[in-house]
Structure 1
């Protein structure tokens, strides 16, 4: 495999459309900002069909094979980190929609706010941002802005500033006038508001990050296979060399280790192993405003916590979403997009907080849709080894904000590396079986409560 030489290295800026993307307008919009990637010229192996790649794998010994199921940002980062080992095993990354990404990574708005009331989440967010900065054009440090008007909301901003400083994150309380200067199209100056500005936050291009991690992993010999996994079987205890059989639409594949990083599909896939995890897919409304010229001033992403509304500048259009509604459980099928109709009243309400000119421009027409992401009863991901099934690992219910940090943590565990105390504490917090034996319906209700509190101001644990 060889890389296209660009300037002094193999990655550079290409204003080119990625032709592997599905041609629907929604996908085009989502991927529009992908303009800087590591381009790999197809080698003979990369040019092979999925069936040919699968047949090649069938001819190879599975006794030291690690299979990652799920090619979103977490699975792709896992493939990258595992491929960096000095003596890597055979690593296979399987995704059902490799050529046309359909998971939560493909539809994520891309907000990265590092501060969370749960310190472990702040920790993996900080690590993830450092990792994303290393990928050219993948993370834009535009900053994050939170605005409040009521006394209680302003007090919460001051509290979050103290939490940020304690976590080593820059955060400043600014006036409404100052907020209107750095986000003039989203906030109109008033006499009551205050704002909290996080200068190291920003926006992430999640599809691009996943793609770049995969490109680097492939360069290290990772095999990427497009196939749909329907079940996993844990074979008898005497099958120590390859204790797992993975059923795909191409046939069965054996492996010594399996890492499940399938996001909203994790709960369904784990049923084949009689494992129940409270990973709840929820539908979330987001919208893109009409196309417009790129602004001279780069806007931070902005949140109105009192209203559960947020917005960002996508470059040639604005995006906005809302948590100000009753949470709705999604039913994952082939895509993280929901087929249910987006409630226009929810998005119209979200628009009401914008400045008048932006509100008028964005309202007619905007393109609203529902996509799904995962929530859990305590707002924490599931990451680590599955007890009593040696070689089985999970990295699921992980947001883009925490993707690279969680992937690195699980990769170190899978690789048998010595873990520092902080990592050990995180694995305890993210323990895969921490809800074992509890009523699934009670856990689902607890998870749904967290939907309207994404930064965990309330303790859901």
Structure 2
């Protein structure tokens, strides 16, 4: 069996790694070839296992099993901080739910926190010992190396312009005139997914949004990755990146991005509208840790109407699969599940089906997706 994977971000390389490890012949078509322009290149790298949606908890748990053997992943743990009694009650319920899922989670007093946290504001801490942090571009490179060592082939630059069923399989044509044949195809192109799905005659309700993340000026010495820290009540998160500190915020009006604006990739010019939420986010830091951003990232990622990814076969297009709106947290586990489904060993979860919004009006779907943006870090993980 030969599988063509379209997209070489964290999802595409994870699928290649999972399939090649099973002895499947794999070709990955990478639109860029050089510097990566997809969402993986801009991700903060949190791998948080617990999620309110059990299906995502299981995918994240499996992802950690994949990543723990790679140097780009560190089992640092994760923290959620409450700054009010109501926030502490929410954390307590989340910890109980995580424990019921078999995860190592505890509710604790505000002690032993990273030095960048203003612990005077904190009334309770949820600790998630199974969480970790990754350096996404290195994690992607290491997964690709594993896939290549198992025989996967990467072709770049190779922008797909046409896909058609043929003789029980598929033909895939690229912009430079290359034509490949495959038994199965997997679409894993992130924010560019709707365009590829359109080649198969399918609507994929996936909505790109912009998101701010900033870095402090590097300082010596480098430090080991500490826990990823979230303030769910305030839609703020932060982590140490070796010799620098990064902080991001979802506490702002959603900023949808038109497909035409993505020609240059998932990194857009900084939007001054993000200055205020970033400044507000820094009020959660210890006064000595607050900073004037040395680097500002306006990164784009994909939202869905229910904050769940698309993972499964394409209805009406036998042999075609979609793996979209999947972040670093779930990529490794999603790839393992997809590889087993593609080889006929299991059915993928129905709640991730690609046609679950088939009859809903497009405007309603976008409204639903944008409404969920602000709560991503209150209930989910990147």
- TM value normalised by structure 2: 0.93
**Alpha carbons 2:77, 2:130 under 8 Å: kept:** yes
Correspondence for 1:436: 358
Deviations, residues 165-222 of structure 1 (Å, cap 9, x unaligned): 011111111112x1xx2312223335x6111111221211222222122112222222
Structure 1 residue 407 corresponds to structure 2 residue 299: no
Structure with max Cα Rg: 1
Specify the SS of the correspondent of 1:451: helix
Corresponding residue number in structure 2 for 1:350: 281
Partners of 2:266 and 2:18 in 1: CA distance: 25
1:321 and 1:347 in contact (8 A); partners too: yes
Q: 2:67 aligns with which of 123, 132, 144?
A: 132
- Mapped to 2, the partners of 1:212 and 1:457 lie a distance apart of 29
In structure 1, the residue corresponding to 2:130 is in which secondary structure?
coil
SS of residue paired to 2:180? strand
Equivalent residue number for residue 46 of structure 2: 111
d(CA) in 1 for partners of 2:36 and 2:361? 34
User: Structure with the greater relative contact order (CA < 8 A, sep ≥ 6): 1 or 2?
Assistant: 2
> Which deviations, in whole Å up to 9, do the C-alpha atoms of 1:329-383 show, x marking residues without a partner?
1232231102352421121111111001001xx22x4321200111111111101
Distance change >3 Å, CA 169–CA 455, structure 1 → 2:
farther
Q: Verify the 8 A CA contact 1:385 1:392 in the aligned structure 2.
A: yes
CA distance in 2, matches of 1:457, 1:320: 18
Among 62, 84, 90, the residue aligned to 1:156: 90
2:109 to 146, 151, 175: 175
CA contact (8 A) 1:386 1:432 kept: yes
Provide the residue aligned with 1:369 in structure 2.
297
Counterpart for residue 122 of structure 1: 57
What per-residue deviation string (whole Å, max 9, x for no partner) do you get for residues 85-129 of structure 1? 24x2x3110111222111111111001111110000011001101
Gaps of 5+ in 2: none
Native 8 Å contact 1:308 1:322 kept in 2: yes
1:141 aligns with 2:75: yes
1:263 to 177, 187, 190: 190
Residues 22-171 of structure 1 aligned to structure 2 (within 5 Å): 64-86=1-23, 88=24, 90-135=25-70, 137-171=71-105
Name the structure 2 match of 1:33. Answer: none
Please provide the CA RMSD for this pair.
1.9
Q: What SS class does the counterpart of residue 247 from structure 2 fall into?
A: strand
Equivalent position of 2:216 in the other structure:
289
Q: Is the 8 A contact 2:207 2:369 kept in 1?
A: yes
Residue 221 of structure 1 is matched in structure 2 by 151
1:211 aligned to 2:145? no
C-alpha contact (below 8 Å) 1:288/1:319 kept by paired residues: yes
Deviation at 1:151, TM superposition (A): 2.2
Q: Secondary structure at the match of 2:220?
A: coil
Q: What CA distance in whole angstroms lies between the structure 2 residues aligned with 1:309 and 1:382?
A: 26
Secondary structure of the equivalent of 1:114? coil
Secondary structure of residue in 1 paired with 2:233: coil
Which string of whole-angstrom CA distances, capped at 9 and with x for unpartnered residues, describes residues 378-436 of structure 1?
111101111111110000100100000001111111122x22xxxx3x52111111111
Q: For 1:101 and 1:297, locate their aligned partners in 2 and report how far apart those are by CA, in whole Å.
A: 26
Return 302-311 or 333-342, whichever deviates more.
333-342
Q: Which residue does the alignment assign to 1:277? A: 204
Kept in 1: contact 2:160–2:172 (CA 8 A) = no
| CA distance in 2 between partners of 1:243 and 1:200 (Å) | 40
Q: Distance in 2 between matches of 1:246 and 1:391?
A: 16
In 2: Cα distance, 1:67 partner to 1:391 partner: 11
Distance of 1:172 and 1:160 partners within structure 2: 10
